Structure formats: C-alpha cells, structure tokens
Chain A
Amino acid sequence: MNAATGYNFAYLDEGTKRMIRRAILKAIAIPGYQVPFASREMPMPYGWGTGGVQVTAAILGRADVLKVIDQGSDDTTNAVSIRAFFARTADVAVTTRTREATVIQTRHRIPEAPLSEGQVLVYQVPIPEPLRFLEPRETETRQLHALAEYGLMHVKLYEDIARHGHIATTYAYPVEVAGRYVMDPSPTPKFDNPKMDDCPALQLFGAGREKRIYAVPPHTRVRSLDFEDHPFRVQSFDRPCALCGAEGVYLDEVLLDDAGGRMFVCSDTDHCEERRADGHVGTGGMEAAHV
C-alpha cells in the first residue's frame, strides 16, 4: 500500500493480481484458449479497456516502462488516461517509444516497429468469442472450441465473399493459433494479423466485461483463416504517409477542412514521429508543420 495515494501498487490488491496471473499462466499454456477470470470493477466504464487494464496491472513491476496506445496513437483520450492511471497508481515510468517500452497496452493496433523478446503486448478486447455472431449460445461455442469444430468460422468468410466478392472482414479477422484454437485478435485491423505470427513478444488479451483472458506466447504460429481460392490478404495503401513518407504501414485518413481536403498519415504516431526526427518528409510534411 502506498501511503501517499492510498492505493496498492498498480491499483488492484495482491489477491486479485494473483488470480489474474493464474489465468494468464493458464492462457499462455493453452495458446488461443479463452480462460475465464473474475473480472473486477475498474474505475472506468466497460468498453474503455477494463480487461487490458487488469492484465497490465497484474503483470506490471516497478522496473517496467509502460506505453499505451489507442488506434495506434499515444495521445488520444483513452491512451492518455490509462497511462496517467498507471503513472499515478504504480508510479512506473511511461513512454511513447515502442522500443523503450516493456509493457505496451493497446486497443486496435500493433506498433509498426518490430517488437522484441521481453516485451509484452496487452490487448483490450471487447468481444473475445470469434463465433459469437454466428452462434449465440455460450455452451455451444465452448463445445465447438473443445472439439475444434471451426466450419462455422468459414461460413462467415463464405458469406463475405458471397456478398462482396472478397473477404470483406477488415478487423477482428479470425486467426488459428498454434494449429489449434481459433481466436479473435480483438478489433485490430487485419493489416496487423501477420505481425502476430511468430512474434517474439508475449501477447496477452484481456476482456473485462466478458471476463476472459487469452494469450499468444512468443514465437507461436498465428494463421489467418481463408479459402484456398480466396487467400488471406492485407489492405494496401496506394500512397505513403503524408507526414513521414513511410510505405507499407497502416494509414489513417485525416480531414483537413470542410472543402474535401484530407491526408493519409501513419496511424502509429510514435513510428511517424521517429521517422520525421530522422529526417523523412512526406508530401504533406510542410503543411503539417504549420497546422
């Protein structure tokens, strides 16, 4: 207990952290399997990352360096408030630099900079069950996971192709982990799915409202589901980032005025800033300078 703040280190009490750590260990032991845990009320509404915050609180040590991103950005409300929350309740060092962080809590994105061994990526997950919208019964989805009956997942992809001519699912794109469990990678764009495969960092997923934790251990095979004649493909962008000129990264569209002006910039703000600091300039770099 910290006498000054009145909170235990990282907000949760030690008993709760131990319960969450047990769930995390089990999740790591069975890659992709959703482990139930006794999710707590957190001082933020459901949907704002209560699952991710609990996982982060359970694994955070005094020497850790924390980075929090929301949609790839370090400076949006959700990211700022969660970072401030842990700076206050755990007094840990915080950063926006991907390379410097030991724990990265994220909603939606995997950083562009390659992750390394020793880093932990914590995802905030709204709906952990990939089969949910096809099979509403929890008893039945558990049965389907237990027996590895994943034909239903392909029915969803079939419907996509039948309706749109291609697999139109662009986020929460289902993956098969370590050749066994099918998992929802949370609402990350499918652009980031390939980064999950054989990733050297530990990936933990926390769903607070749904009370589930799951994990992908380092260097685990993560395969995006597809059809033989409609293979998995990521989005591609026809232009580089307007600020830093980066190609092959995920871009956000930014509206500039009410006359149709817009530009496409890196969704990963840290990646973009680092490149601009190194002297890379995109086509819109000058305009951005005086915005």
Chain B
Amino acid sequence: MSTPLLQARGLTRHYGARLGCADVSFDLDPGEVLAIVGESGSGKSTLLSLVATELAPDSGSVSYRMRDGRLRDLATLSEAERRALMRTDWGFVRQDARQGLRMAVSAGGNVGERLMGAGARHYGQIRATALDWLNKVEIAPDRVDDPPTRFSGGMRQRLQIARNLVTGPRLVLMDEPTSGLDVSVQARLLDLIRGLVAELGLAVIIVTHDLAVARLLSHRVMVMRAGRVIETGLTDQVLDDPAEPYTQLLVSSVLAA
C-alpha cells in the first residue's frame, strides 16, 4: 500500500446559509485518477476549489505530500510556498481556457511562463521546451507564436495542458476540461489526456458531469449530490453496479448514442 499523495479530511464550505459541500474526505495516491461526478450545483467545483486552496474551507483540511516526502497541511504553507507549489508541482486545467491562459501572450510564452517563473533565463532552451510540449499536445510548431485568441476551443484546452505539464507536476486538477467541445474534439482530447497521464504517472482529480469522461479516464469515482459524497468506489464498480438510487438514476440518464 503506497502512501497517499493528497489527503482531504472533512472539507466543509458554506456560502452564507447555503451549503457548498459538506464533510468530504478522500485520499489520492500518486498516479491515481479520481473523478468527481454529479449534476450541476452538486458541489463538485466547490470541492475542487477547496483542494486547490483557492477557497478556504469552513472546516476540514487538505494535506499534500511534498517532494521531500513530508505530508503537510496546505493551510499552514506560507503564501510564497503555496504559490510555488501551485506553479511547479500542481497544474490546474480550467473549463474556460481564458481563465487558464494568457490570451494576449503567444502559445510559446504561455508554455514558457512557468519555466521562467521557476527561474529559466535562457530563451533558446525555453523555446525548445515549449516547442517540444506543443508537439506533445499536437499543436503544430508553426503556431508557437500565435496567441490563443487565434486557437480553436480544442487547441486552447491542449495548450492549457501543455502549459500546466511543462514543469513536470505530480498532481493536476481538471475542471470539466472537455465540456463545450464538440464530440470528436472531446474524444481526441480525452485520448491525449489519457496518454499523458499514463506516460507521466500523473495523479489527477477531474471534475465532470459527463460519466463517459469518468469511465474513460478515472480509476475511482466519487458521486456528489447536494454538497455531499453519496457514493465512492472503483469506476467500473460504481458505474456498472451503482448502489445508490441517485447514482442509478445518473447512470441510466445517459443518452444512448
């Protein structure tokens, strides 16, 4: 049994009187892909923001195993440590690429930003690494100097992935990375993510309302409803043999192609 990379314990967050999410606990192992599924408003994104330390929980904690092997409560990190962790060891692929990219900066600059943030000061090497990553996410090298405003939706998401993975993170958070893309582009993007995750041994927490995405990518699934986790287990088990009535409803409500 390996030691967990990330531990969430009793995460609770209210928005005033309304509940965001309540008492969520889970462990994430290195290289494991966890999908958080549920309908809109079920607290998936709140949970992801809490894990990403973008929101402060009302109660509960998130601990992460740093590169030196120590498990640390993220709330106790200094702001400088927290930001350094987020831009080197973590990635965050957002639903809206405009939030995850600098739209006025070229694709190469977008990928290179994290490298320069980590202290890279050699233009030739930064550019070579950027080109290498664009190649990995199937963006043609002659687009390296184009800003993402000239990219299609699918390309923007792939650029976001390259920008996040360039520093070799161990954990990547993804918030609905495929929604808003048409089906064939979705399929290619999922293929790419699945390949990279396997190749790099990434741990991923992916939030999605699309059960097909969860089935394709994830090892484990957490089903949320009204801010609470109602069912959790191995992906095949949960999706093929759901125990909770709500999960059964969710699984059976997938439109047949």
A154 touching B106, Cβ below 8 Å:
no
B122 touching A227, Cβ below 8 Å:
yes
- Among the stretches B27-35, B108-116, B132-140, B190-198, the one at the interface with A is B108-116
A163 touching B145, Cβ below 8 Å:
yes
For chains A and B in complex, what number of residue pairs have CB atoms within 8 angstroms? 56
A159 touching B123, Cβ below 8 Å:
no
- Selected from B116, B127, B145, the residue in CB contact (under 8 A) with A155 is B116
With contacts A147-B79, A155-B116 taken as known, whether A227 is within 8 angstroms of B108 at the C-beta atoms is no
A163 to B115 CA separation, bound complex (whole angstroms):
19
B123 touching A155, Cβ below 8 Å:
no
B118 touching A159, Cβ below 8 Å:
no
Kindly supply a per-residue 1/0 record for chain A positions 150-194, scoring 1 wherever the CB is within 8 Å of any chain B CB and 0 otherwise.
Answer: 011011001101110000000000000000000000000000000
B121 touching A227, Cβ below 8 Å:
yes
A158 touching B123, Cβ below 8 Å:
yes
Shortest CB–CB separation between residue B118 and chain A, in angstroms? Answer: 7
A137 contacts partner chain B, Cβ-Cβ < 8 Å: no
B112 touching A158, Cβ below 8 Å:
yes
A162 touching B127, Cβ below 8 Å:
yes
Shortest CB–CB separation between residue B46 and chain A, in angstroms? Answer: 22
In the bound complex, residues from chain B placing their C-beta under 8 Å from that of A158 are 108-109, 112, 116, 123, 126-127
A41 contacts partner chain B, Cβ-Cβ < 8 Å: no
- Selected from A143, A147, A162, A226, the residue in CB contact (under 8 A) with B109 is A162
Shortest CB–CB separation between residue A5 and chain B, in angstroms? Answer: 49
A147 touching B80, Cβ below 8 Å:
yes
In the bound complex, residues from chain A placing their C-beta under 8 Å from that of B145 are 162-163
In the bound complex, residues from chain B placing their C-beta under 8 Å from that of A163 are 106, 145
B117 touching A162, Cβ below 8 Å:
no
Give the number of residues in B that approach A within 8 Å (Cβ atoms): 24
B16 contacts partner chain A, Cβ-Cβ < 8 Å: no
Shortest CB–CB separation between residue B29 and chain A, in angstroms? Answer: 31
In the bound complex, residues from chain A placing their C-beta under 8 Å from that of B79 are 143, 147
B105 touching A155, Cβ below 8 Å:
yes
B65 contacts partner chain A, Cβ-Cβ < 8 Å: no
Shortest CB–CB separation between residue B145 and chain A, in angstroms? Answer: 5
With contacts A134-B102, A227-B123 taken as known, whether A152 is within 8 angstroms of B113 at the C-beta atoms is yes
A60 to B143 CA separation, bound complex (whole angstroms):
55
A40 contacts partner chain B, Cβ-Cβ < 8 Å: no
Shortest CB–CB separation between residue B21 and chain A, in angstroms? Answer: 26
- Of the candidates B113, B116, B145, the one having the most CB atoms from chain A within 10 angstroms of its own CB is B116
B113 touching A155, Cβ below 8 Å:
yes
In the bound complex, residues from chain A placing their C-beta under 8 Å from that of B117 are 149, 151-152
- Of the candidates A158, A226, A229, the one having the most CB atoms from chain B within 10 angstroms of its own CB is A158
In the bound complex, residues from chain A placing their C-beta under 8 Å from that of B108 are 158, 162
B245 contacts partner chain A, Cβ-Cβ < 8 Å: no
Residues of A within 8 A of B (CB): 134, 143, 147, 149, 151-152, 154-155, 158-159, 161-163, 226-230
Closest 6 CB pairs of A and B: A151-B117, A151-B116, A227-B123, A154-B116, A228-B122, A147-B80
Contacts beyond the supplied A162-B144, A228-B123: 19 A-B pairs with Cβ under 8 Å: A143-B79, A147-B79, A147-B80, A147-B83, A151-B113, A151-B116, A152-B113, A155-B102, A155-B113, A158-B112, A159-B106, A161-B123, A162-B145, A163-B106, A227-B121, A228-B122, A229-B122, A229-B124, A230-B123
